Amino acid sequence: MTEILDTVADLTYLRDKRELEAMFAELIYELVGASRLVLWRIAWGGESRVMQRHLVLPEGAEPGEDRAVLPGLKHGACLEGEVNGGFRYDFAIHDGNRPAGMIELLRPERLTRAETLTVSRLIRVYNNHAGLLDYGSRDELTGLLNRRGFNSYFHQAVQEKQAVIAVADIDFFKRINDEFGHLYGDEVLILMGRLMEGCLGEMGSVFRFGGEEFLVILHNTPLGMAAIRLEAFRNAVQSAVFPQVGRVTISVGFSTLKGDDTGASAFGRADEALYVAKQHGRNQVRCHEWLVRDGILREKKKAGGQIELF
């Protein structure tokens, strides 16, 4: 018990979510004597949510079969089943109030009730601490992640085979503040954040970068699918009626993430595409790679070291 408490104390000292996740998985793996642990994350795959392996212990272990998103992923949920002469346990993990994935444990013997409760309680500690880390990384007005919260999500996304970064800017926002006042301007920002989460939240992570500028990272999404989803979001904004203000439009620029990207380089490409959208009439979605292909933009070559701006 003392060793567990010491490890939990070490966990709550961590401020990097990736380190927290790895250390927490190691704790559970060793605590129950699992033959294998798989940390699954919910991601967007094509037209539906899918489970993706995020971490496997021990390193080099056979990752096991693909899993579908479980319909009953509720707080504290634990599902038990027999597999290959042993037992498999699925424990739900959450990001705030949203299901984020699960921890899959394989053991030769069945977990005791005490062991199951211990794992469930440790997962609650993990969820609560991860939520506290997010608290300082969220924008006070909209509740979206802010620039501080961008780094950990970016470093995870850049390792994926297909991920997209999009920058969105509310058109003529200064005019909204000048004509209707900052109170209604703030309400537009809040409602815009909700629209973004509703249209794009299941596919990835939504951020407010300050002012009228928002950013989205779409996980495991090819450019063609990103264009469809971002265009659907643009159309949803155009169709919405904002209190007192009425109709509002948004311009979007996006680009695929590359393995050697920094936050600054990826943001820069999406921002260049956004600038083209602004210069060509606003209320449109533009892709950096397609603009380079069509000769409207030129691909920039990296020179020397990388500088992280976010």
pLDDT in tens, 43-72: 644 445 667 777 899 987 887 777 777 666
Over residues 20-24, mean pLDDT: 85
Quick one: DSSP state of residue 163? -
Higher per-residue confidence, 263 vs 202: 263
- The tokens describing 139, both together, are 């924008």
Sign of the alpha-carbon dihedral angle for 90, 95, 99, 100: negative
In this structure, are 96 and 40 located in the same domain? yes
Higher per-residue confidence, 16 vs 273: 273
Helices 182-200 and 173-180: crossing angle in degrees, nearest 10, is 140
- The tokens describing 310, both together, are 């976010």
- Would 309 be classed as within a structural domain? no
In this structure, are 230 and 129 located in the same domain? no
pLDDT, residue 306, reads 41
Q: What's the helix, strand, coil split of the chain in %, to 5?
A: 40, 25, 35
- Would 244 be classed as within a structural domain? yes
In this structure, are 272 and 160 located in the same domain? yes
Q: Which residues touch 12 (CB under 8 Å, ≥6 apart)?
A: 125, 129
Catalytic sites, residue numbers: 212
Nearest to residue 119, comparing CAs of 102, 143, 97, 96? 102
CA 299 to CA 282: how far, in whole Å? 22
pLDDT interval class at 15 (50, 70, 90): low
Over residues 197-218, mean pLDDT: 88
Domain boundary among 101, 135, 169: 135
In this structure, are 175 and 282 located in the same domain? yes
pLDDT, residue 304, reads 41
Sign of the alpha-carbon dihedral angle for 92, 121, 139, 215: negative
In this structure, are 131 and 224 located in the same domain? no
Over residues 258-277, mean pLDDT: 94
pLDDT, residue 309, reads 36
Average pLDDT, the chain: 85
Residue 149 has pLDDT above 50, yes or no: yes
- The tokens describing 97, both together, are 């109030």
Residue 268 has pLDDT above 60, yes or no: yes
Number of domains into which the chain is organized? 2
**Could you tell me how many helices (H) and strands (E) the chain has, helices first?**
9, 10
Lowest mean pLDDT among 2-6, 8-12, 269-273, 306-310: 306-310
- Would 123 be classed as within a structural domain? yes
CA 276 to CA 183: how far, in whole Å? 30
pLDDT, residue 191, reads 93
Specify the DSSP element, H or E, that contains 42: strand 36-45
The helix/strand/coil state of 24 is helix
Domain extent at residue 217: 147-293
CA 90 to CA 103: how far, in whole Å? 6
CA 31 to CA 27: how far, in whole Å? 6
Q: Do 254 and 165 contact (CB within 8 A), yes or no?
A: yes
